[in-house]
Amino acid sequence: MTISDVNAAAGGLRGLLDVLWRIHARNETAVLGIVTATQGSTYQKPGALVLLDGKGLRHGVISGGCLEPALEDASREVHKSGRAAIVEFDTRSDEDLLFGSGIGCRGHVALLLLPLPPQAPLARALFAALDRGVGLHLSFALDAAAPGAGNAGFVGAASPEPAARWDSEGRASPTSPVTSLSITIPAPPRLLLFGAGPETAPLALIARRQGWFADLVEHRGRWAAFAKDAAIDRLIDQPPAVAAAALAGERYDAMLLMNHNYSLDRDWLRFCAAGEAGYIGLLGPAARRDALLGELDEAARARLASRLRAPVGLDLGGHGGEAVALAIAAQLQQHFCAPVRGGAAAAAADARA
């Protein structure tokens, strides 16, 4: 069952592709901006994506708002010519501080602007990767002869053959160019929530805004009411045994036990121990955690040891469903972005400046 009556716009890659789908549904060309290199203090880092159409920016940002007008101007030229271009923004000089953007961030950012006409091979590869729940390896040429030409391959694919090839106009190409830039776009994280409660709706909303997917297992009518109109992608409203069978073979990056019921949490904790999710969160105090773990066998406890966060969430203070949801979402963000935590912190500092 899918809950579709949700007004929350998605962020991240899934949000960008939602917008791209709507642009292509109007038989219009979009422009995909990819940050290719940065120096100094910049809001975004290499691999960041933005999407524009003929009128301007539609998803994502490259700065706190100061560079976007120039980006839109450059995108309109790409939209008009139908050919990719490389643009650079440099705020490192005193002249920029006095006569340019005036932000004083002392940074340099380069972007590849690539036209994406309807049915563009790169667009199809991005949609296919999202549907499969896998990442996408992208390689691009940055030379003046064929800027933006490239190819794409699915992360983990058995075949080395590219999933798509395109030229500098974003159209299908029979051959792969010599490339000088490679980036990997990871699949959006997938969350599985066991049990609904006061924290479900605010957590699901944050997840969607972050571009994550969130599914919910809940068969108890009284508790399911907490998820009514929540930004849940899939509701599995089956009793545990049936739900467990329905989940066989599914991949999730994080599983959250929030049943507000000891027996259900115990059974699903055992289920999580047997799975491969790298993050398992358990709601409730430490004493309850210890009691639940005491009912599992040694092998299950060993499998949970490095993955279990209990009590789940960062200690941010506050009470109630919204505070709990924020604490959990903050810990999830930390978990998913741990390899680039320094870059994210720097970007946040730039945003506050």
Higher pLDDT, residue 183 or 347 = 183
Residues 275-297 have a mean pLDDT of 97
Amino acid identity at 333 = Q
According to DSSP, residue 312 is labeled: -
Q: What are the residue boundaries of the structural domains of the chain, listed by start?
A: 12-185, 190-340
Q: Is the pLDDT of residue 228 over 70?
A: yes
pLDDT of residue 340: 43
Q: How far apart are CA 296 and CA 319, in angstroms?
A: 30
Amino acid identity at 175 = T
Q: Which residues pair with 89 in a beta bridge?
A: 109
The overall average pLDDT reported for the chain is 89
pLDDT of residue 93: 56
Name the phi and psi angles at 71, rounded to 5: -60, -45
Q: How far apart are CA 285 and CA 281, in angstroms?
A: 12
Nearby residues of 307 by Cβ (< 8 Å), 6 or more positions away: 277, 278, 279, 280
Q: How far apart are CA 79 and CA 201, in angstroms?
A: 39
Residue 215 neighbours by CB distance under 10 Å: 20
SS3 352: helix
Question: CATH code for 190-340?
Answer: 3.40.50.720
Strands 279-282 and 308-309: what pairing?
A: parallel
Q: How far apart are CA 276 and CA 250, in angstroms?
A: 10
Query: Are residues 192 and 248 in contact, defined by beta-carbon separation less than 8 angstroms?
Result: no
Laid out side by side, the sheet with 164-166 consists of 164-166, 150-154, 136-140, 181-185
Out of 34-38, 106-110, 135-139, least confident range = 106-110
Residues 205-218 have a mean pLDDT of 97
Residue 12 CA to its chain's centroid (Å): 4
Q: Is the pLDDT of residue 34 over 90?
A: yes
Q: How far apart are CA 110 and CA 74, in angstroms?
A: 12
Q: Is the pLDDT of residue 4 over 60?
A: no
pTM: 0.86
